[in-house]
Structure formats: structure tokens, C-alpha cells
Structure 1
Amino acid sequence: MKTLLSLLSLAIVIGSGPAFAADQVKTAKSAEAKGATKAEAKVSEAKASPAKVSKEKGQDAALKLVPGELLCWDLQVEDGIPEYAFYIKGKDGRISEVELDGNTGKKTNIGILIDSQSSDGRKIKTTNAADRARLKEAKLTIEQTQEKALKAYPGTVEAWEILIWESGKEGKLVHDFRVIGKDGKKVVTVNSKTGEIISISRFVDGKGR
């Protein structure tokens, strides 16, 4: 009798084996698919533009303010407000950073790019002698300000730039660092004279930077 029961139990286990295994594979695949869907949704959410004004319209507005050759652009969000930055090279060699409110298209600032290095190692720097001369205003090196940026937002520096905020003699010389950290890509702006963290914004999209 015991032998018969053992044989019956064995038959049930063998009979249900493939079906059980198939169910396990199906469950694993389902979980994997759900994980992939969540990951895709995250990527899609990161790429979705938070700006009401399109990049094309913003670009047109920037080129009207500062005519020249568009070198690159990016879109960031600071304090919930999206902001475009269009880098335009003029005939005098000056590279203007035209910043526009991403919701209204209105100008928020026009800065000057002096030097930079993009994520692919490409360097963009001004050929305007007067602008380059202002590099001496910095009290801290790019390495020193990078240390301060990484303390504020730990991660890996993907790109950096040296800028003058607000055109003219009263503008601040700042160092921008795009950092890849645990909460995604962020841009940390550091005052090159004091080492103060001026702002931290979320990087959304861009080309050439």
C-alpha cells in the first residue's frame, strides 16, 4: 500500500513538473516585462519636455536677440521652472548664452561662455580676447570648484563650462558642472571667486553639450 502511494505521489510530481516550471518561467518573464516597462517609463518621463515653448520656437527667439551661429543648446529645470540655454557665436567671436523661460519664451539672462568641455570631450571656447581676459577674475581653479560641486551633489562630472553671468563688467564668473548622480543629471553652478554654490538645476535635454 505504501509503495502504491509513493508511486502515485511520484507520478503526480512528474506530471505537474513541466507545467509548474512553465508557470515559473511565465511569472519570471511577466516580472521582467513589468520591470522593463517601469524602466522605459522612467526614461520616457526624463525625456519628456517640461517646457511649454518648443525648442524650435525658443531657438528662433534666441537668434533674434543675438544673431549668429547656434553652437549648442540645453534645457534645465530650476525651482520647477524650465529654462532653455542657447549658445550663439557672433561675428566678434563672443559666444553668448541666451537663456529663455521655457514656459513663456522670454529672456531671463544673456551670459558669455568663455570655455567649456562637452560630454564627448569636445571643447567650445571663445576667441574674443576681451572675454578670455576675464578668466583672471577667478580666485579658484576649475579643479577646486569641481570639488565643491561634487560635495554639493556627489557623482561623476560629465561636462563643464566657464561663464560670465549677465553681460558686462558686473557679471559673475561662474563654473558650471553637469554631474551624473543618484538622482540623474544635475547642473551645479559655483562662484569662481568664493566657491559658493549658486544653484543646482536638473538637466533635461540638450545637444552639443
Structure 2
Amino acid sequence: MSFDIDIEVARGERVISCAFRTGDGITCLVGPSGAGKTTILSAVAGLARPRRGHIVVRSRTLFAPGIDLPPEKRHCGYVFQDARLFPHMRVRENLDFARRPRFDRNEIAESLGIAHLLARWPRTLSGGETRRVAIARALLANSDFLLFDEPLVSLDPPRAEEIAALIRRVHEDYELPVLYVTHDRSEAKRLGARLIDFEGNEVA
């Protein structure tokens, strides 16, 4: 069992609920913009606190009554929609900021096709290059699982397909479960993912 999640999270006056259990693989939360998908992702990462429930990933309890691990102890790699690279650091330094000893930065950079970008500044990267760097940074953080928040938004179709293929390969090569947020069901299906609506009801 990769993800076992049953939570309620307050967002303003709304309460977002989500409940699902999945095996190994890529799991997509699918729903329209504003439905609460990113709120659920933030709760899994430890950036938002649920009102109740539990979050268990790979048999490790991250949140439950009496348990609330801080983000840095959840061993999660989070790829945000806007990538959030540090603009004052070159690509190499962005990767080293996240890196933990078990991973080799140059090996990951070579594997993800960004070795030639290490000396570049984030502002000089294309959208596809920025996503690749963000994925590499998530891997280098000693992650036990990966979270993706609309990573293909704003990419043109060829670059979107390229990054989708990279996400599939990273999942397979590193054997990490993936929780992925999108508003596009066809995008989720291209990933070969199990689809979950934002309230946790299996739809495909």
C-alpha cells in the first residue's frame, strides 16, 4: 500500500475531504481548478494541517491522532506548479540545497538530461528545463515519495509529453510512489495513473 489517506482539511470557510487507498504506481487527483486538490497535496506534504483523519505513506504514519510529522521529516519530494527554484542560485546550487548524501547530484542530473544546465541561472531556463530541474531537486531530497502539482501547466504539447514521459520513467527507475494533481483527465491517463476525484472517489 503506497497511500492510505482519509482527511478533512479546512480552507477558509470550506472543508475539503479526501479518502482513498492505492497500491504502488502513479495516483492522480483529478478535478476542476479550485476543487481542493492542492490543499490535499499540501496536507500530505505537511504544509497544511488536517482537522481530522490519517495520512499513511508506504506504511509510515505521517499524520494521525497524536502524530503530526513536520515537513522535513516526511521524506517527500514536492514539485510545485511554479517549480519554485531559487532565483539567486545557479541550477547546481539549487540541486545541492536539497541534496542528501545517499544521492549523487551529477548522476541524477545526467539521468534527467540536465547535466549541461548546471551552471545556468533559473531565469535562463525554458519551461521544460525548469520542470526537469525541479524533479531532480525533489529526487535529491532523499524522497520516499513524490508529489506533483499540475507540473504540465503552461507547457506546449511537445514539452508536456516530454515531461510526462520523464515522470513515468522517474517513477519506474527509482520505484517511488507518486501522487499527482491535475485538472485534465486525459493527462492523467497518459501517465498510466489510477484516477481519483478530489474527494477520493475512484473514477477510473
Rg larger for:
1
TM-score (norm 1): 0.27
TM-score (norm 2): 0.28
Greater relative CO (CA pairs within 8 A, separation 6+) = 2
